[in-house]
Chains A and B, each alone.
Chain A
Amino acid sequence: MATMFPETSMRSMKKTLVLIAAAAGLALVAQPAAAAGGKGHALRDGNFSFEGPFGTFDQGQLQRGYKVYREVCASCHAMDLMSFRTLAEPGGPFYDAHQASAAENRFVRALAKEVQIADIDTETGEPIMRDGTAADRFPNPYPNATAAAAANGGAAPPDLSVMAKARHGGARYIYSLLTGYLNPPAELQIRPGQYYNAYMAGDLTPFMPEGSHDVPPGGFIAMPNPLMDGQVTYDDGSAETADQYARDVSAFIAWASDPKQVQRKQSGVGTLIFLLLFAGITYMSYRRIWKGVAH
């Protein structure tokens, strides 16, 4: 009689656990499939160096990405949460091991000086424009959101400060979108001020002839294709193509969205190694304490 208890209880627990684990696994597998379902291409892989638990940013790519942002994107898109000094923080595009501090970095000070910052004169109280400093935030191209919308046909260009965190797919999404200005099918009715993009969210069924079975993926975007070959000059010999620009600026925005991500991943590796050792030691301690206690 007594012998049947352990078997029953062990078997039942195991069966319960296996069933629950299997179901949970199924749910996890189904979840992304459901999220990715519907129309739309799979996002393009930008071969980004910073992906994965050990990935780091390519500093040259971040510098090029900043250049593309400054010369192309910044005329419409703000990055209100970014400061020039952040560009010189460890892991950033202009970090220099010899700098006294991020705010003292010579590249960043020179870059900041190139922009004009709206300020108030401390003596007269009058609005003035002055040279930027490392402590300044990136200037916004528009005085406010209403002006931004009015200047762009009603669609305010979104702030890019945290764009890689604000879209599913992050840098891959930005890269795909910037290179997603494919030729639309001829039957697609495109309204003026709208452009077809294969990676933009949307449903184009209403804009295709009734009953069409070839509804293209993607949606309409108010931004015309911003990048053209040869538009930005690179000093490091990288290809001056729209694809390379898109890749570089996506990497820059991914960095700007979470400037401490690489540092955090690196301390994460150390933390996990510590926790695994700690778990091992504690398990040995546990086995010794429970040695000889039937339970």
Chain B
Amino acid sequence: MAESVVTEGEGGDATRRDFIHIAAGAAAVGAGAMAVWPLINQMNPAADTLALASIEFDLTKVQEGQQVVIKWQGKPVFVRYRTPAEIQRLAAEPQAGSPPESDAARTKEGHQQYLVVLGNCTHLGCVPTFGTGEFGGWFCPCHGSHYDASGRIRKGPAPLNLVVPDYEYVSDTRIKIG
């Protein structure tokens, strides 16, 4: 077999010989990596999915004391029009939740009656129910997390406050999320 037919290269040849084999092997590994990358990258969001990144919403559709749930990027967003009593109660607890935040930091200046948060519990993603729980905000039926009317986590397994998405007021009654 091999031993009988292969002649060894001349003495000082070894390094050059090894180099060319290593280079060929490295090129093969590189080619493999280049071929595999598109197969992995194709699972990232496609251009049409990314283009639907923002939506606009008319706040006059929400009644005082109520919330409207809208869909943004496939997820629920709570838009809540809070009563003066609720806002007053929140003001009494300037720092709460995890991380501790004030209600003012979670709303836009001059529009404190409107709270906009993502409607997925920060524990494992269920949608908390409106107006229940011990703190008058939301209660998550899956594993018993209690949120207040500012969406701050107050009791239960959820690690973080409900997430406030990036949004801005494009007019006095209209917001753009994303």
Please give the residue numbers on chain A whose beta carbons come within 8 Å of chain B beta carbons, in ascending order: 83, 85-86, 89, 101-103, 122-123, 134-135, 271, 274-275, 277-278, 281-282, 284-285, 288-289, 291-294
Contacts and interface: CB of A to CB of B under 8 A. Distances in A.
Interface of B: 5-7, 9, 17, 20-21, 23-24, 27-28, 30-31, 34, 47-48, 50-53, 61, 70
A292 to B, nearest CB: 4
Contacts of A89: 47
Contacts of A292: 5-7
Given A83-B51, A292-B5, A292-B7, A281 B24 contact: yes
Nearest to A293: B5
Given A102-B47, A103-B50, A135-B48, A288 B21 contact: yes
Contacts of A282: 24, 27-28
13 contacts: A101-B50, A102-B47, A103-B51, A123-B61, A135-B52, A278-B24, A281-B24, A284-B20, A285-B20, A288-B20, A289-B21, A292-B7, A293-B6
Interface of B is mostly: helix
Contact of A134 (B6, B34, B51): B51
Contacts of B30: 274
Which of B6, B50, B51 has the largest count of A CB atoms less than 10 A from its CB?
B51
A271 B6 CA distance: 35
B17 A288 contact: yes
B88 to A, nearest CB: 30
A37 B168 CA distance: 64
B31 A278 contact: yes
Contacts of A86: 47
Contacts of A275: 31
B81 to A, nearest CB: 15
A288 B17 CA distance: 7
Nearest to A285: B24
